[in-house]
A and B are shown apart, each in its own frame.
Chain A
Amino acid sequence: MSTTERAREASAKAASSNKQFSLPPLKAKDFDRAGKMSTNISIALEALWANRLRSMLTALGIFIGIAAVIAALILTQGVTASITNTISSLGTNVITIASGAGSKGPRGFSAGVASTTPSITAADAKLIAKVPDVTGVTPINSVSTQVIYGNQNWNTRVQGAMPIYQNIQSWTLSEGAWYTQSDEQSAKSVALIGPTVANNLFAVSGDDPIGKSIRIGSQTFLVEGVLASKGGGSDDVIFVPFSTSQNRLKNSTYVDQILVQVDDSSNIDQVQKDITTILDQSHHIAVGHADDFNLTNSTQLLQTANQFTSMLTFLLVGIAAISLTVGGIGIMNIMIVSVTERTREIGIRISIGAQRNDIRYQFLIEALVLSLVGGVIGMLLGFLIGYAATSALSLPFVISVNSLLMPFIISASIGVIFGLYPAIRASKLDPIDALRSL
């Protein structure tokens, strides 16, 4: 067989086994650009998956930032909640008078610790009781001392206050009864103990505290009641009648604080003015001179506390924002590298018909996914850190809508802000140059 014959035969064979090189033609209705966004998303996910390690490390930058933001938020929200609880447990519509110049700083927090020169006395309290709209007044002494029952001892805060104090700060008892006005007048050595104190003195022996004698400092007191828990640090306290504390524990005519209860919060300002006038007279303070006492009310305290906590939030979130910016720059960096590396891929995509938009979305979605994944993992870690920190500091663990939404909003905006430039760069590539690149 000659070569030509063989070729002809082979040709015939090829023709008979002819593979059909045609596809059914496409019709206009086959094209549906609406579904393309999901394809851009899956293309972006594939690309990220192909560079798993790099994607993870890039997301780590965001992840740390978001974790820091969330932990900071939870911590400050815990502090805020704790301070608010403490302040409202001091009673509403209550004015606190303390010694010292009229600074309105956060001194009110250190309830009971007399600052600077003592100036207010129990006699002042009697004067204040005559002011209109005042429904209750009590002077308060506060002493930190050791209490002993049997072989158990405990350091706590002992407060001397008149019986009306129960009403002003709405205390309840889990056992026994509050001391009476006659106990107050005769300065009886009776005490009400907080649950923390009861636990520390009586848990070991299992005795019922009511009717037992305890030693406060060098004095013996009879336990008449156990306070119901208010939670937090306010459970670690002992109350004794004011006159008893004045005579047996303090030995001073000055008192640490005077608490004034006002009938309605709308009258607080007027009452504060009246009290200032009365005390200025009794303390012989000339017009234009500084007062030697100060007044705070719970509303003011709350405001001060809010200022303080929002400053704290601002500081912590500010620090976290810096780390988020660093994370965002990391994303931008990697995306620019990725665009450069994949120039040829971009060229291929554009030459076979990808729109500029498709390329831009592809890279934008990559950046967005990186930062969102970082954000979600960071949020979970932030909650963990926040939970650990708040429980270590025995603060309330608060999850707000803010702390749930913020990671998504922040990380999405970081993805868009830092991903936009590389994505635009990718979409502007010239397909001819891009195909020529290695």
Chain B
Amino acid sequence: MTNSYQGSATDPFAFKTPNMNEEAPRIVAADNQAQPVIVVHNLVKTYMLGQTRVNAMRGISLEISPGEFVAVRGPSGSGKSTFMNIIGCLDRPTQGDYWLTGRQVSRMSVAELSIVRNRLIGFIFQGFNLLSRASALSNVELPMIYAGLTKELRMSRATQALQMVGLGTRLDHKPSQLSGGQQQRVAIARSLVNSPSLILADEPTGNLDSRTSVEVMGIMQSLNRQGLTIILVTHEPDIAEYASRQITFRDGRLVKDEAVRQPRDAQAEWAVLSQQNPDE
């Protein structure tokens, strides 16, 4: 490997063989504070839409360090969705390299990427994406099922995670019996249970009212304060202000990368909101 990034060559957690059943448990989130969570180098994504060639990403390079709270902004068609899909290991780049916690994921097989999504990444979606038939507890259990955790461990962690997001009394509720904010909190609990290195939130407040948005952002900031790296995709400028760093895409290129000097404090705002109208 010619790249200067040192972590990739000597990473003790790197895949040694493609035999998943033997090697899979080696992927456990073990964050080394010294190395970046994400390193992408010259990412290019091109795909064919009928006869036309679409250049969704034209060479993107950046690093994200542990504990950062990054908001990804950009108009539709800017390549931010493609970027998120590749960062989330749902898609692979046409060219370029992507290291996640020191692992070269841009060269991994589909099966290995499943394990990476399962162990290293927690997803939060705009539409919550909960299984409608399953209870809150079962939904939160799901990533641990695919990780192969024991039933006792799954139950205790799922219960704990739901208690952390304030849904300890609604373990058996189906998504249809929960409000939008509550559903998103279930999704947050689900993203946390496998102790990921990275939370990817794709428009997490897109389907929520502003009051519930503050609540959800408060939880995310609280997670971030405990050292969890979060990447947040949003087109709402005020939601992006809760992050500590904003990067902006346009036409498949990174056009702006700046620190937010004074991020908004969602927990404080939420405290005010709940005092004004303490109906929650």
Identify the A interface with B (CB < 8 A).
Answer: 3, 6-8, 10-11, 13-15, 18-36, 39, 43, 46-47, 50, 344-345, 347-356, 358, 431-432, 435
Give residues of chain B (108-143) contacting chain A, Cβ–Cβ below 8 Å: 110-111, 114-115, 117-119, 123, 125, 129-131, 133-134, 142-143
Contact with A along B41-62 (1 / 0, CB 8 A): 0000000000000000000000
Measured between alpha carbons, how far is A10 from B267 in the docked complex, in Å?
8
Given contacts A353-B118, A354-B114, contact A435 B125 (CB under 8 A): yes
* In the complex, B269 has a CB within 8 A of chain A: yes
Pairwise interchain contact A14-B268, C-beta atoms closer than 8 A: yes
- List the A side residues contacting B226 at CB < 8 Å: 21-22
Pairwise interchain contact B271-A14, C-beta atoms closer than 8 A: yes
Tell me, rounded to whole Å, the shortest Cβ–Cβ distance linking B215 to chain A.
12
Pairwise interchain contact A36-B222, C-beta atoms closer than 8 A: no
Say which residue of B20, B25, B131, B164 sits within 8 Å of A29 (CB atoms). Answer: B25
Measured between alpha carbons, how far is A403 from B129 in the docked complex, in Å?
47
- List the A side residues contacting B91 at CB < 8 Å: 432
Tell me, rounded to whole Å, the shortest Cβ–Cβ distance linking B175 to chain A.
11
Say which residue of A15, A26, A33, A352 sits within 8 Å of B117 (CB atoms). Answer: A352
**Which A residue's beta carbon lies closest to that of B223?**
A21
Pairwise interchain contact A352-B118, C-beta atoms closer than 8 A: yes
Pairwise interchain contact A10-B271, C-beta atoms closer than 8 A: yes
Pairwise interchain contact B150-A32, C-beta atoms closer than 8 A: yes
Given contacts A28-B26, A355-B114, A356-B111, contact A11 B267 (CB under 8 A): yes
* In the complex, B161 has a CB within 8 A of chain A: yes
Pairwise interchain contact B164-A7, C-beta atoms closer than 8 A: no
- Give the residue among B114, B118, B131 with the most A Cβ atoms within 10 A: B114
Pairwise interchain contact B142-A351, C-beta atoms closer than 8 A: no
Give the contact stretch, choosing among B176-184, B192-200, B204-212: B192-200
Measured between alpha carbons, how far is A351 from B84 in the docked complex, in Å?
12
- List the B side residues contacting A26 at CB < 8 Å: 28-29, 119, 147, 149, 194-195
Tell me, rounded to whole Å, the shortest Cβ–Cβ distance linking A414 to chain B.
26
Pairwise interchain contact B149-A32, C-beta atoms closer than 8 A: yes
Tell me, rounded to whole Å, the shortest Cβ–Cβ distance linking B201 to chain A.
13
Measured between alpha carbons, how far is A24 from B192 in the docked complex, in Å?
11
Measured between alpha carbons, how far is A22 from B88 in the docked complex, in Å?
21
Given contacts A33-B24, A348-B131, A432-B90, contact A10 B110 (CB under 8 A): no
Given contacts A29-B25, A432-B91, contact A354 B272 (CB under 8 A): no
Pairwise interchain contact A10-B160, C-beta atoms closer than 8 A: no
Pairwise interchain contact B145-A39, C-beta atoms closer than 8 A: yes
Say which residue of A3, A7, A31, A347 sits within 8 Å of B149 (CB atoms). Answer: A31
A-B contact pairs, 25 of them (CB 8 A): A11-B265, A14-B218, A19-B164, A19-B222, A21-B222, A23-B193, A25-B29, A26-B29, A26-B147, A26-B149, A28-B25, A28-B28, A33-B148, A34-B148, A36-B145, A39-B145, A43-B145, A47-B133, A344-B129, A351-B90, A352-B146, A353-B117, A353-B118, A353-B143, A432-B85
Pairwise interchain contact B118-A10, C-beta atoms closer than 8 A: no
Pairwise interchain contact B164-A353, C-beta atoms closer than 8 A: no
Pairwise interchain contact A353-B269, C-beta atoms closer than 8 A: no
Given contacts A13-B271, A23-B193, A348-B131, contact A36 B161 (CB under 8 A): no
Say which residue of B114, B157, B218, B271 sits within 8 Å of A23 (CB atoms). Answer: B157
Pairwise interchain contact B195-A23, C-beta atoms closer than 8 A: yes
Pairwise interchain contact B129-A33, C-beta atoms closer than 8 A: no
Pairwise interchain contact A7-B111, C-beta atoms closer than 8 A: no
- List the B side residues contacting A39 at CB < 8 Å: 145
**Which A residue's beta carbon lies closest to that of B129?**
A348
**Which B residue's beta carbon lies closest to that of A31?**
B25
Q: A21-B226, A26-B29 are in contact. List 17 more A-B contacts (CB 8 A).
A: A10-B272, A11-B267, A21-B223, A25-B30, A26-B119, A26-B147, A26-B195, A27-B28, A28-B28, A31-B28, A31-B148, A34-B148, A35-B150, A39-B145, A351-B88, A351-B90, A351-B129
- List the A side residues contacting B85 at CB < 8 Å: 432
Say which residue of B21, B110, B114 sits within 8 Å of A353 (CB atoms). Answer: B114
Measured between alpha carbons, how far is A43 from B141 in the docked complex, in Å?
12
* In the complex, B166 has a CB within 8 A of chain A: yes
Given contacts A26-B195, A31-B25, contact A350 B125 (CB under 8 A): no
Measured between alpha carbons, how far is A343 from B253 in the docked complex, in Å?
32
- Give the residue among B29, B30, B131, B228 with the most A Cβ atoms within 10 A: B131
* In the complex, B190 has a CB within 8 A of chain A: yes
Measured between alpha carbons, how far is A424 from B153 in the docked complex, in Å?
31
- List the B side residues contacting A43 at CB < 8 Å: 145
- List the B side residues contacting A10 at CB < 8 Å: 267-268, 271-272, 275
- List the B side residues contacting A30 at CB < 8 Å: 147, 149-150, 153
Pairwise interchain contact A31-B123, C-beta atoms closer than 8 A: no
* In the complex, B40 has a CB within 8 A of chain A: no
Say which residue of A19, A36, A350 sits within 8 Å of B114 (CB atoms). Answer: A350
- List the A side residues contacting B123 at CB < 8 Å: 351-352
Measured between alpha carbons, how far is A133 from B158 in the docked complex, in Å?
88
Measured between alpha carbons, how far is A50 from B138 in the docked complex, in Å?
15
- List the B side residues contacting A3 at CB < 8 Å: 272
- List the A side residues contacting B161 at CB < 8 Å: 23
**Which B residue's beta carbon lies closest to that of A46?**
B133
- List the A side residues contacting B110 at CB < 8 Å: 356
- List the B side residues contacting A8 at CB < 8 Å: 268
Pairwise interchain contact B131-A21, C-beta atoms closer than 8 A: no
Tell me, rounded to whole Å, the shortest Cβ–Cβ distance linking A126 to chain B.
84
- List the B side residues contacting A354 at CB < 8 Å: 114, 118, 146
Measured between alpha carbons, how far is A33 from B223 in the docked complex, in Å?
29
